[in-house]
Structure 1
Amino acid sequence: MSKKLNIVFYGTPEFATGVLKKLHESNHNIKAVVTAPDKPAGRGRKLQQSDVKKFAVNNNIPVLQPTNLKSPDFIEQLQEINPDLQVIVAFRMLPKVVWSLPVMGTFNLHASLLPEYRGAAPINWAIINQEQKTGVTTFFIDDKIDTGAIIDQVETQIEKNENVGSLYDRLMNLGADLSLKTVNDIANNNISTRVQSNSSSLKAAPKLNNENTLIDFTKSAAEVTALIRGLYPYPVAKALFYNNDDELRCKIHTAVISEEKSDHVPPGTLLLKDKKLFIATKDYFIEVNRLQLPGKKAMEVKDLLNGYQFHPNARFYKG
């Protein structure tokens, strides 16, 4: 068994909670959790706790929620805790005064095989870019984003037609195991690090926004369906279409490549056949299985077509 370490854990979403749970159940001592301040959400705009905070509160772990990571009060709290090690999962960038505080350092878990896919959405972009494998990496924090010395990595295959939901869960479990292994290796002084490449050809994982989640039907069917899978179940790919002179922004939840070529019609052409909805891309039609119209719930296409009328000249396009 490894030496018992006092740890401060940083994280906010469910992905981080999986790691926190694994560390909490180990022989190590989680002295405090640092997470985002509660934020108003929903129709009532009630304050919502982060997933990490909910776990910490339920397990009697002290919670810190600084709005300013450089504030003297927060730094003083950390100094009083005096952690051996800090672990970060899906949290904002830490100032040097914070990450350099523990004697054993501060490491981050990132959901990619670094140095590829540095950034905010590595799981999404690995699927969007049709990678065959991805993984998780632990690395020591430095003064740039996701560039520090790599401690350890574990890889996994991306299955054909896999979406973000299933890959997210698998990487969360792999990340929890790797984080605990990394903590134990650090405790036992059993690590060797390697410097990351900074090649200009590395693929990035930028934050998702309204532009890069919008489907471009002039691309191939493989690229279009990869974008849809890479954004499902969240935040979901968007598509623009005209229907009887109305310009609408819908969400396409799921779609597959059909066997019918579409190179004889313009990309975005809509085809309704046998209660199925097809959209032309550069090479093949895709069959949309689940669609969400503006202000409506997502519906299976066969159910949607029972009540919604597409105009004969309706078409999809990229804005």
Structure 2
Amino acid sequence: MKDLNIAFMGTPEFAVASLDALIRADFKIAVVITAPDRPAGRGRKLRASAVKSYAVEKGLPVLQPTNLKDPDFVEQLASFGVNLQVVVAFRMLPRQVWEFPEHGTFNLHASLLPDYRGAAPINWAVINGERTTGATTFFIDEQIDTGHVILQESLEIGPRENAGQLHDRLMALGAGLVVETVRQIQAGTVTTHPQPEPEPDKIAPKLFRDDCRIDWKAPAAQIDNLIRGLSPYPTAWTQLETGSGTTTCKIYAARPADTPSNGSPGDLHGMDRKLFVDTSDSQLEILELQPEGKRRMPVSDWLNGTELKKNDRFR
């Protein structure tokens, strides 16, 4: 059995589950590396990452480098006797960082690689209507998400599951995969295999605002996938056009209706405290939204204070 001194690298809540699982499995975390504190909220006060908050609570040493290529940072890492690095939801590492530990550097990715390489694998899997996804551990190499695979585990995506719900299930699945990967490295039994060539349409680039805008000319099922794939963050959006002007509206939840569209894509129909939108084929029922300047709410609450007019529409 190898003596491991682990450097754990991660920033968001997704990474905390893996760090916690390693500690509960009695692995030695020599140091935690996370993003620098950043301004957040209306007061723009500095806020620590979820990983830093957890590490401080557990009394673990924390490094927050701004430049991962800084020789002083690599020297600091070495001073902790690090011989294995575990990366979960962190930045791309330069070669001088990922290659120096004796037992390597591995990453957890929330997809079945090579599918959905990139920054937003959970969102894109739902947006694209996938029924299966999973998590992968792999040794890092020069390119993003291309290294040799260590372990993979799959799970089914629920028919009405959104990205937030899938995130939480993959967070737990991934934490178990990280622990098993470290166990195999410690025991010297780890095996790997190269990734096959990815399918060109199964990629997961960073999401930008334009990616999140709803196109009501698309089929209802496709729009439903987009809304679920972006909920609760970064959230699908549309513009609400009324006689008093145009405002932005976020859509958090919807579902395809059984009724065919009877107007133009984007036309709104209110009925029995329910809201339906015409698409290219059938209507989509809106369940939860956030009008500009207001709170997130069930559509029934919004309709209580809104009088829909004939030409009101999403566009």
Give the TM bin, normalised by the shorter chain: over 0.9
Structure 2 residue runs without a partner (length 5+): none
> What letter is aligned with 2:13?
E
Aligned counterpart, 2:265: 267
When normalised by structure 2's length, the TM-score is 0.97
Alignment of 1:158-307 (within 5 A): 158-199=157-198, 201-244=200-243, 246-262=245-261, 264-307=262-305
SS in 2 for 1:55: helix
The answer (yes or no) to whether the contact 1:33–1:64 under 8 Å persists in 2 is: yes
**What amino acid maps onto 1:275 in structure 2?**
R
Distance 1:310 1:192 in 2: 61
SS at match of 1:70: coil
Shift of 1:40: 0.6
Alignment RMSD: 1.2
In the TM superposition, what is the alpha-carbon distance from 1:201 to its structure 2 partner? 2.3
122-131 or 235-244: which moved more? 235-244
Instruction: Say if 2:151 is the partner of 1:152.
Output: yes
In structure 2, the residue matched to 1:115 is 114
After superposition, give the CA deviation of every residue in 1:233-266 in whole Å (9 maximum; x if it has no partner).
212111123111512111011111111011x421
* Mapped contact 2:30–2:81 kept (Cα < 8 A): no
- One-letter code aligned to 1:35: T
Instruction: Give the conservation status (yes or no) of the 8 Å contact 1:261–1:283.
Output: yes
Kindly provide the amino acid, as one letter, of the partner of residue 50 in structure 2.
Answer: D
Kindly, what percent of the aligned residue pairs are identical? 51
Mean CA deviation greater in 50-59 or 19-28: 19-28
The aligned amino acid for 2:306 is Y
- In 2, the alpha carbon distance for the partners of 1:11 and 1:5 equals 18
User: C-alpha distance in 2, partners of 1:4/1:106?
Assistant: 15
Following superposition, the deviation at residue 310 of structure 1 comes to 2.9
**SS state at 2:211 partner:** coil
**Structure 1 residue 269: deviation in Å?**
1.1
Give me the whole-angstrom Cα distance separating, in 2, the residues matched to 1:199 and 1:125. 15
Q: Check whether the contact 2:115–2:199 (CA below 8 A) recurs between aligned residues.
A: no
Correspondence for 1:55: 54
TM-aligned CA deviation for residue 220 of structure 1 = 0.9
Q: Mark the runs of 5 or more structure 1 residues left unpaired by the alignment.
A: none
- With structure 1 as the length reference, what TM-score do the two structures score? 0.96
**Runs of 4+ deviating beyond 6 Å:** none
Secondary structure (helix, strand or coil) at the match of 2:77 reads helix
Distance in 2 of aligned mates of 1:139 and 1:204: 17
Report what 1:138 is aligned to.
137
* 1:1-20 paired onto structure 2 within 5 Å: 3-20=2-19
Q: Contact 2:256–2:285 (CA<8 Å) still a contact in 1?
A: yes
Between the two proteins, the alignment pairs up a number of residues equal to 315
> In the alignment, which residue of structure 2 is the partner of 1:22?
21
The amino acid across from 1:137 in the alignment is T
